[in-house]
Amino acid sequence: MKKIITGMALLLVTTLSAFSQTKNITVSGRVVEDTKEPAIQATVQLLSLPDSAQASGTATTAQGYFTLPKVSAGKYVLKVSYIGFKNQYLPMHLYATTTAKNVGTLTLETDAVMLAEAVVTAEAPQVQVVEDTLVYNSSAYRTPEGAMLEELVKKLPGAEIDDEGNVKINGKDLSKIMVDGKEFFGGDVKTGLKNLPVDMIDKLKTYDKKSDLARITGIDDGEEETVLDLTVKKGMNQGWFGNADVAGGTEDRYMGRFMLNRFVDKTQVSVVGSANNVNDQGFSGGGGGPRWRRNNGLTATKMLGVNFATQTDKLELGGSARYNYQDGDIASIGS
């Protein structure tokens, strides 16, 4: 009997030792305020997915640096909280082949709250973590009336848009825009940013999905793409809705844009179009203003596109077509 107990004890110790060895990945980085000053004693947590349980945690140093205790490979969300600043969330996938992950410098955004009077209201949380997905509530962000998606994305914590319309969310390049799980114009990010109105959006979900090749073959190639999936408000996914902007000026100058949608159950049809002759490279709408290209003349730009997607229990179809036209008008006077 003693021999049996000893053998079980040795087996238990061996198992625990092997388990502990799997925790060999460290996550480090730095946290600063929006003034570039270090965030001292900011709370840094690594939440495991899908249960959002804390796997590791620490506080930043006097210079804002942090190094989390070792964790095992898996999917996590790095959460940074600091009094007076908005929480920041950074999804990450730690692989067993990596022993150290440096997230770089994380800049916190000031959480400025101005109260004109004492009014207690219930507000939707700006961002939530649901399994391996970050969910943003559209109603928690103020945008001008008639604004396009571009204006809303600019306000999302961790989101950046450069002058060319490329988007990064928490340091990752945004690959596709989807509407209720279906690709919008082949996932074209710029078309989605300039043509989808904020008024139709209830929530924005960002997550990493497997590459097209991995989904087709069923073989995980380790490649993932970051997508922004928009949930349409109730009542706007059963019927027709759309919007249009038109402007005119002297010297026969004009600019206009429209979008028409037909959503019924799991079928989506969208038609978008724009035209101008004032060097506008895309209507951002909603007070964001046009994008002007510097050149020596005036460029007329026209675009018309159609997007279609439908889904049944056995079949999923989708596709898009787009027409683009550009013409230049350059005049010069010499002595």
CATH of the domain at 174: 2.170.130.10
219 and 137 co-located in one domain: yes
Beta bridge partners of 134: 129, 206
pLDDT value, residue 300? 81
- Domain-terminating residue out of 232, 265, 285: 232
Strand partners, 224: 210
Which residues of the chain fall below pLDDT 70? Answer: 1-21, 112-125, 211-222, 237-238, 241, 280-297, 328-335
Q: How many residues does the chain have?
A: 335
Are residues 321 and 248 both part of a single domain? Answer: yes
If one counts every other C-beta atom within 10 angstroms of the C-beta of residue 145, the result is 8
Domain closes at, from 203, 232, 261 = 232
State which residues form the domain around 63. Answer: 23-107
Structure confidence at residue 7 (pLDDT):
40
The dihedral built from the CA positions of residue 26, 97, 211 and 272, taken in this order, carries a sign that is positive
Domain final residue pick, 197, 232, 267: 232
Kindly state whether residue 118 falls inside one of the protein's structural domains. no
**pTM surpassing 0.75?**
no
In a domain, 119, yes or no: no
Q: Residue 83 to residues 42, 86, 87, 112: CA-CA distances in angstroms?
A: 8, 8, 9, 11
The answer to the question of residue 120 being in a domain is no
Amino acid at 310: T
Tokens read off for 80: 């940074």
| Same domain as 260, residue 221 | no
**117 in a structural domain:** no
Judgement on whether residues 225 and 140 belong to the same structural domain of the protein: yes
Give the number of domains in the chain: 3
Q: What secondary structure letter does DSSP report for 140?
A: G
Q: What is the pLDDT of residue 60?
A: 93
Q: What is the pLDDT of residues 189-213, one digit of tens each?
A: 888 888 888 888 899 998 887 766 6
Tell me if 12 is assigned to some domain.
no
- Tell whether 7 is covered by a domain: no
- Structural domain includes residue 10: no
165 and 79 part of one domain: no
Do residue 276 and residue 293 come from a single domain? yes
Residues 132 and 218 in one domain: yes
Strands (E), 221-315: 224-232, 238-248, 254-264, 267-276, 280-283, 290-292, 298-311
Domain match, 192 and 274 both: no
Residues 223 and 138 occupy one common structural domain = yes
> For position 33, which CATH number holds?
2.60.40.10
Same domain? For 223 and 248 the reply is no
- 152 and 227 share one domain: yes
Question: Per the domain annotation, does 188 fall within a domain?
Answer: yes
In this structure, the answer to whether residues 137 and 222 fall within a common structural domain is yes
